[in-house]
Amino acid sequence: MAITRASIENIPIHLVTSIPSIETYNNIVNKKYYSTKLEKRYKEASLPKIEIINLHSEILKKESWIANKTINEVNKFLEKGEQVLFFLNRRGYAPFVICKKCGYKFQCPNCSVNLNYHKNLNKLLCHYCGFKSSLSRNCKDNIKCDLSFCGPGVERIFAELKKIYPNKKIEIFSSDTLEKNELANELLKKVEKSKIDILIGTQLLSKGFHFPKLNCIVVVDGDFSSHGYDLRSAEKNVQLYHQLSGRAGREGNFSTIFFQTYTPEDEILINISKNNPNLFLQKELLLRKEKKLPPFYRLISLIISGKNEALIMKFAMSIKLKIPQIKEVNVLGPVLAPISKLRKKYRCRILIRYPKDLFIQKYLSQFLNKIKITSGIKLEVDVDPINFS
């Protein structure tokens, strides 16, 4: 939007970022954009050292997510009176709950996702539509279900850290705790005045904040293998963790970011750990070219949604068959969205890929205008889609 507006009004535009998108990087390479770099951090601080902690090399205690090796490293910073941040991009206590007796899994009735357990609220919560429910449920034997809480969220990491460090001051930073502005400000002041020893935070914490005493970050779950559906997942992760590492060592002190992982060989993790965004951008750009992805090709996403899964797939198939065949234009799909049902509606997607010097929008919109849309079905068109979830 900003670029388009600047172009219409004929005014210069500055894009400011720590790591540009691949599209923007390509514009720099092609000399369409001019780039200026801040080569040094504030106070000439160096970026944190990155260390990978292989979780296969020790057996974690039951219901525990922090390795002994991590604790030993963290202690070194705490002993110096410095702050430590545990990063986990998952709100609540546990990402899903099942019954050990009957195998029942608590799921959202409106979305095809598991419900998250929030201990502070003592409720199950859908992070997509906001659905809430209680935990009580009768099992097949008419006695209450025997619940098992699976995986950690920030509240659970808080509980584990409280056990390890009963005398340290520990706080959670997530949208649940930072919803009220005054509360957020109070928390931030506490951090600045060193009244907090350990912070536990979600993505919310990766941006902008200046914590002078924070020199150690632990990424609790450094596994990135599950995001294959999004062509930008590597880029988004490299950006996020670069931002995050920028929270540490801001006053020029020695700082480290530890990645706990079961997949130390994962390519995204290796890209992050090299801490060389330029190298990543170069490699990723080549990969995009090889795989015929943006910015070398363009994409148009047709998103079909409705309350009946079979009906939307049938409708999508019928559209696909009618799309006029044009040389060098690929029509991919339809495939169900990774979260196939959201707020009671199923979604699927057709992806149209074409060389960027071909102008098919007009052609396509003429075709789409002629299509009769079955009632109860919605068709959305997303040109140059950013979001694939």
Looking at the Cβ atoms of 118 and 250, the one nearer to Zn ion is 118
Looking at the Cβ atoms of 55 and 111, the one nearer to Zn ion is 111
| Lookup result for tokens 């201990």 | 119
Give me the torsion for CA of 203, 209, 215, 217, rounded to 10°: 0
Looking at the Cβ atoms of 81 and 103, the one nearer to Zn ion is 103
Check if the beta carbon of residue 184 is closer than 8 Å to that of residue 222.
no
Closest contact distance (angstroms) between CB of 125 and Zn ion is 9
The DSSP line for 50-63 is: EEEEEGGGSPPPTT
Looking at the Cβ atoms of 139 and 317, the one nearer to Zn ion is 139
Looking at the Cβ atoms of 108 and 217, the one nearer to Zn ion is 108
Closest contact distance (angstroms) between CB of 101 and Zn ion is 4
Nearest-5° angle of CA 101, CA 103, CA 107? 135
Find, among 210, 276, 217, the residue nearest to 89 by Cα: 217
Sequence-distant (6+) residues with CB within 8 A of 216 are: 73, 74, 77, 82, 83, 84, 85, 248, 255, 256, 257, 258
Looking at the Cβ atoms of 111 and 157, the one nearer to Zn ion is 111
Chain centre to alpha carbon of residue 176 = 17
Residue ranges that bind Zn ion, judged by CB under 5 A: 99, 101-102, 104, 108, 110-111, 126, 128-129, 131, 139, 145
Closest contact distance (angstroms) between CB of 142 and Zn ion is 10
Closest contact distance (angstroms) between CB of 132 and Zn ion is 10
Measure the CA–CA gap between 245 and 209, rounded to whole angstroms.
Answer: 12
Looking at the Cβ atoms of 106 and 224, the one nearer to Zn ion is 106
